[in-house]
Structure 1
Amino acid sequence: MPSRNERASDALIVAARRTPIGTAGRALAGVTAAQLGAVVLEAVASELEGPPAEVILGNCMGPGGDVARVAALEAGLPSSVPALTVDRQCASGLAAIELGARLVRAGSAPVVAGGVESASTAPWRYWPPRDGEAPVRYERAPFAPPADDIDMGLAADLLAEERGVSRQRQDAYAAESHARAVLAAARGEFADEIVPVGGVVADERPRSGLTPERLARFPATFREGGTVTVGNSCGINDGAAAVGIVPVTAAGAAGRPGLRIIGAASAGVAPTRPGLGLVPAVEQALAEAGLGTDDLDVIEVNEAFAGQVLACYDALAIDPARVCLGGGALALGHPWGASGAVLVVRLFTQLVRQGRGRYGLAAVAAGGGQGTALVVEACR
């Protein structure tokens, strides 16, 4: 029987595209989740040799009705192509790609997988009325049972305090993320990965001239005396990303470059510290790949909160200077269900389109105390 690592090596990412990332209520405010998903599905599917055998999209706060199916039909894919929507909160897009790779290894190919989120058009939801009272709106779905259902921002603040991540370090990291994203955009680094949407061709959030000194003026957001602020946290955003996954043998026969998936894992941690969820996922995915962090050439981690990811880097002994070299979610934005897929698109650009190295890692933590990680090897 083949080893787990041999089975993982059967899946190759040969196409990867994303939309621009918009700030909620602004550039992409009139574009629904299904419409955003359709844009990247159409782009990725056009790079495959035939229609996909399956479409899988992650989504957190969409309208329901199987957003992946609606997006696939809107993209013009044949009605015979089935589609599945998955929800692992912020890890949904990366979990969809992990699931897609496993389907390819099982013989279903090609697969188009990724994620989508439209915070701008997410429907308002209410708990049913009780005892004659008016319905009560809730801002988010529960992450965990009531006793452990802590808000992500507060959890990040408490994690930063427990792990000794200072406010100064968080602000400096956030400023660097913006600076890197602005420079990458100016170099045209995102041009080949972005599919324009309604005339929007660039990410909306990155800010030039955002210094640690400017960020230091922001007050704590989630608790008095805390260190997490709107300046060192991600935004609320709209966007979509998807990849095309085929068997390595098929891609090899066609001479196509890509990213071979050599490690993939999802893991759980205490729901009261959800930001740490990516740590065991990374450890498991690297173990499957037979690699250590020093072997990685490109690392993309979802920057939900500076304090949270810095605590994770410390736990994994990763130098923050090596992560998200083109800026991360602090600058580019965090369209929840899509963000994990955005990380893989960024890996594809750097490792395949630009040839920056051999091995890459994508990792994201999720509400409720989960994390997903993917390790890839460039095949050129």
Structure 2
Amino acid sequence: MTLTVCAGPFPAGNTRVSPYLRLLPALCFASGLGAQTLPPNAADQAWSQVTSKEKAANDARVRSPQGIVATSRTDASRYKAEVEARAQKYRAMAQAARDFHSQHTTHPKAAEARKLEALAGVQGITPTDKTYERSALAVARAFRTTPTHPIEDRIQVAHSMEAFFIGRKTLTRHWYDNPFLAETMLDRLRGEFGEQPEIWGLFLSLAQNTYCDAGKEAAMRIVQSAYAPRPTKELARRVLERYSLVRQPLDFPLTLAQGRATTLGELAGKTTIVCLWDGPRHPEGPPGLHDFKAKPLPNTKWVFISVGVPGDLPKGAKSTPVPSGSTCVESLGRASPIVARLKVDRLPYVFVLDEQRRLSGYGRVDEIPALIAGIGRPVLP
């Protein structure tokens, strides 16, 4: 078989290989390098602006205070300034997203930019700017009710709006802090969008994040539903398994940070708060406990469990203020038997024991006062 090659000055049918043809691989490689070093086009640059502003806004939200009710005039002023600064970052994100989908209507990211504009607009609302509030809610409402948008995106925007209304009504940071309003809102979304997996995912978020009794009820709804996806039901069963520990004695072996073996029972007191946190991610200590350092809870023992071995503190960093207590380390991290037994899905997370060393309740760090007040309450059947 004869290979016929036509290249450069040689006529068709000539079996000689042109020296130019031998250079083609090198030329193609060089052209590939050139393509990699070309500056991004205007659309890519604009999308990069959107994502960078999204990151800045979300970072500011993570750093925001745990609650809305301030305990002093200084705290109130600081909180107001932080809320305003965070809102401005979300407004900048919404503007960047609006500019992107207006100027690059056919770009593959245009649809996502429309969703981000609606979401960021709601997050950018402040109590003092009613004009912006009306505009942002109008954009979100239009996105929510436009059937050509993906239904999962419409649900996300609708949930953002409803969470905003709950927060305004109850002065709480999280939409699931008031489980009655949260469940009513999710049922309203079911009526609006049907039995969608995303809505049952929000029910799961309610079950995992609200206080333990309400979480148990939300998990039961998921497990008993004919429409909830199977993976969502499996995670809801974990919530029910954790709830089954309430009013049961709780004890397990621990290793103190100094290396000595002990047990939870040995470290417990009249009231015991067990706080699990992500040590490798937060080597400075469990976050969100500075208020309990400043105002210690009476007759309370604290047991801090680092899930994973904490790393060294970065240069110049300081340890987080926490109450006096015992610090333990679970070197297996999330593979620890303690994490498996307690069905811990997120960190930090707290468990409260009464004076009989029985589990009284569990929840987020900002729920500790309510968990302490709930010691001795009846347990749901």
Instruction: Sort the TM-score into its range (normalised by shorter chain).
Output: under 0.3
Q: If you compute each CA radius of gyration, which structure gives the higher value, 1 or 2? A: 2
Q: Bigger relative contact order, structure 1 or 2, given CA contacts below 8 A and separation 6+?
A: 1
TM-score using structure 1 length: 0.23
More helix by share: 2
